[in-house]
Chain A
Amino acid sequence: MYTKNEKAIIWIDLFDFLTLKKQQAILDFFDEPSCVFDEFKNSFESLKDIVTKQQFDKMLYSLDEQYLNSHILNLDSQKIKVVTYLSDDYPQKMLNYPDRPIILYCRGDVSLLNSTCLSIVGTRKPTIYGKNITEKLAKGVASSGITIVSGLADGVDTISHSSALAVGGKTIAVMGSGFFDIYPKRNFELEKKIEEFGLVITEYKPEVGPASWHYPVRNRIIAGLSKAVLITEASLKSGTMHTRDYALDYGIDIFAVPGEITSFASSGTNNLIKSCQSSMVTDVEDILNFYNVSNKYKPVVKNLQLSIEQQAVLNAIDGETHFDDIQLKTKIDTKTLLTLLTTMELNGIIKKMNGNYYCKN
């Protein structure tokens, strides 16, 4: 059960008109949060800079332990656990940050909040390169026992979460909406899965819907939870750059994956590397060395004897290579080459991407 202090924080989070700063100001006014139950009714004079009379009355009206208990019971029935900044489960690292959320609504394994985390963020519309790299790095990191933190959005976020789950690793999803309104809808099933095998958290009350301004703000939690932030693919204008800003503020290390300098999608990450704001990542070891853990990820690779033709095809593939270019180099006729490429793809040696491009796996 929750302590009196925690209940006070749950109470103060009930009101939409209180911003994080106002919440903090009210809490700061009292010696400790639980004092509100006795002293709040007499303190309008001191709080009138923060709340109006109307708002004050509203707050006072709800300041009833019975009412709060029923609210908490309600949350319990929804399997939503509340972690306040006073709880032991609260990520200790985040206590140092001035704009830390006072409350986190959680579903799943709350002990993950204090595990060693890596945030993986990036564009919602990754290119094939971005998708492949994200998947590879997320799987490598997650299987080495590091918790992957991401934002449950489309693209890189989704790939990071599902890759972590795929290798049986741990993952935390930080949402920009309450639990009753999961966004994007497409990730509903992924969210349920993360609840089961990882943790989903949000600073918003369950009934709060998604809003565009929630996302940059929730990025501070993504940054704050982790020891380092990995940006796999992001353009210069990407929302991912908010996470970078928070990471820089908090003094958290940033890793970025370089991309082709002509690639629009990688312009943000390339720029990070160029301006020395981040370390460059080309391999999962780069991250694991930082965490001082050893690589336990062993992708299942069948040891296949390649035929001469297959070897020739493999030699012709250099980065993302178009079908026509492979054909030009190998001089194999269309239908045989198609068969060869698909066989090799089934064997996991290469990967087909959209637009008839192929790359090595």
Chain B
Amino acid sequence: MLSKLKSFGLVGIEGFEVDVEIDLNNGLPGYDVVGLPDVSVKEGKDRIRSAIKNSGFEYPLYRITVNLAPADIRKEGPIYDLPIAIGLLSATSQCPINSTNDFVILGELSLNGDVRKVNGLLPMLITARESGFKKVIIPYDNTMEASYIEGIETFAVKSLKEAIQFLKGEIVLEPVKISRYEDNVKEAVVQNDFCYIKGQKTAKRALEIAAAGGHNVIMIGPPGSGKTMLAKSFPSILPNMTFEEALEVTKIHSVAGTLDNKQGIVLTRPFRSPHHTTTVVTMVGGGRTSKPGEVSLAHNGVLFLDETPEYPRNLIETLRQPLEDRVVTVSRIAQSVEYPADFTLLASMNPCPCGYYGSKLHECKCTLVQIHNYLNKLSGPLMDRIDLQIEVDAINYKDLKSEAKEETSAEIKARVTKAREIQNERFKGLKIHNNSAMNSALVKKYCKLSPECERILEEAFAKLNLTARAHDRILKVARTIADLDGSENIEIQHLVEAINYRSLDRKYWL
């Protein structure tokens, strides 16, 4: 009495095919799972038993062996409850033995026989489609997530009983209707809008450039100057994700279990702001079950570090590799997993521990050594990866109350989207999508300066005490500003504006 079903598992954010084999032997009744199951798979034993009983079926009183093949990859999560239960029923002929042949089955069971949602459905469905499967039985709660996958028929079931009835042909289920991403993304609502931020013109302009070129930004300013508010509004001016980008993000969030079931897909670019007590593992990912970390959850979106110097130095330094490679590789004894981590870093900081260094209104109580140490917490290599350094200063009451109309995020977003299109065209065939990802060779190719511009840049270096590392940063930012302007070449005004965004390099902080 052997039955065989197909299911899927997860390594990192990629799915892999799992054969669920169930054999019933004579002997003392018992239940064994082999094939590197983790605890949540093993515990399925009791859920499956109760679910079968409470759905009105009979639990087979045999010596049960369940094998999850391939046997050398660890199986995690309660995904296999439903396939094992159906397998048990088909092995005892309570369900037709051949009915499950075409299906991939995924789902967790509850004691009363209901099917519960599983994490990481989307990547598993995508791999199933790629491996040529046509039909999948999924939990009803995962309907929305499955609705974005075309080319594979998904059937959402609410309970074990419904699944068996469907397999027997007693009831007919419609495949999950396909949702169109393009329609939904337009209706996606972003919480914060730039029009609610009064003043802060220079900061807004810098963030517009950052959004257009994917540049990392650091904001420096006294407490209460609106750094956090600016950061929170930042996603509202980022261009919409393409369907492929959205799928990538959804995959990660699906695996991490942070996906909103009502939406089924991540429609807006993620905004992650981990607290400064976050550990290295939650930041880059990993842990016992190799979960994606904050940098991956911020993939295609924004990672916001508020009060950056408060983060432990080793935590900030771990960001260096993902900022460079745009992926993180998490190695564990059992496996090594790669998570995408292509995010825009938004960092904010005070000019000194008390926050009032250089302020006219408050006296700064910090010693010079303290200020020096505070500013030094951001290491050179990290600052190397931050293109825009801007100052945000306290706004006065008059400005807060002013009735002047501020630009809405939608208006800025339109300009940003246009600039992104130019960049997509430019980097066609290359692996990068925006100006900030250019390496030195590409900078040389795409950021040519006229002799007049060269002269200005040289002068700026001498006059403003810029450091050498500022050179490529300025060119990249100038390229983005030119793109925002729709200009083919970097003109003087673009270059000059780019020079303006190197506040920290200018050493007047200390």
Contact = CB atoms under 8 A, between A and B. Distances in A.
Given A342-B499, A346-B463, A355-B359, A334 B508 contact: no
B393 A355 contact: yes
A339 B358 CA distance: 24
A348 B462 CA distance: 12
Interface in A322-353: 322-324, 327, 334-336, 338-339, 341-343, 345-346, 348, 352-353
A154 interface: yes
A290 to B, nearest CB: 31
B363 A264 contact: yes
A124 B456 contact: no
A320 B359 CA distance: 12
Contacts of B199: 324
B275 interface: no
Given A346-B459, A346-B496, A263 B360 contact: yes
Interface string A154-175: 1100000000000000000000
Interface string B447-470: 000000000100110011000000
Contacts of B509: 354
A323 B499 CA distance: 16
A184 B510 CA distance: 13
Interface residues of B, number: 34
A324 B201 contact: yes
Contacts of A355: 221, 358-359, 391, 393
A343 B459 CA distance: 11
A322 B391 CA distance: 12
A264 B357 CA distance: 13
B366 to A, nearest CB: 9
A339 B508 contact: no
A303 B372 CA distance: 38
A338 B358 contact: no
Given A263-B360, A335-B205, A346-B456, A356 B508 contact: no
Interface in B459-510: 459-460, 463-464, 481, 492-493, 496-497, 499-500, 503, 506, 508-509
A323 B202 contact: yes
Chain A's interface size range is 20 to 34
A346 B460 contact: yes
Contact of B497 (A127, A184, A342): A342
B205 A334 contact: yes
B343 to A, nearest CB: 26
A342 B496 contact: yes
B399 interface: yes
A125 B463 contact: no
A263 B364 CA distance: 12
B399 to A, nearest CB: 7
Contacts of B506: 352
Q: Which of A322, A343, A353 has the most CB of B within 10 A?
A: A343
Q: Which of A128, A322, A346 has the most CB of B within 10 A?
A: A346
Contacts of B393: 322, 355-356
Contacts of A353: 508
Contacts of B459: 346
B355 interface: no
A81 B506 CA distance: 38
B229 interface: no
A334 B496 contact: no
Contacts of A184: 368
A184 B369 CA distance: 10
B360 A339 contact: no
A127 B481 CA distance: 32
B354 to A, nearest CB: 12
B351 interface: yes
Interface in A116-149: 124-125, 127-128, 131
A353 B509 CA distance: 9
Contacts of B492: 343
A337 to B, nearest CB: 8
B358 A354 contact: yes
Contacts of A320: 360
Contacts of A339: 493, 496-497, 500
Nearest to A154: B368
Given A324-B399, A346-B456, A354 B202 contact: no
Contact of A327 (B201, B357, B360, B368): B201
23 contacts: A125-B357, A127-B360, A128-B508, A155-B368, A184-B368, A186-B372, A264-B363, A323-B201, A324-B201, A335-B493, A338-B205, A338-B500, A342-B497, A342-B499, A342-B500, A348-B463, A352-B506, A354-B508, A354-B509, A355-B221, A355-B359, A356-B202, A356-B393
9 pairs of A and B residues whose beta carbons are closest in the complex: A355-B393, A339-B493, A334-B201, A354-B358, A342-B500, A342-B496, A334-B205, A339-B496, A339-B497
Interface of A: 124-125, 127-128, 131, 154-155, 184, 186, 263-264, 320, 322-324, 327, 334-336, 338-339, 341-343, 345-346, 348, 352-356
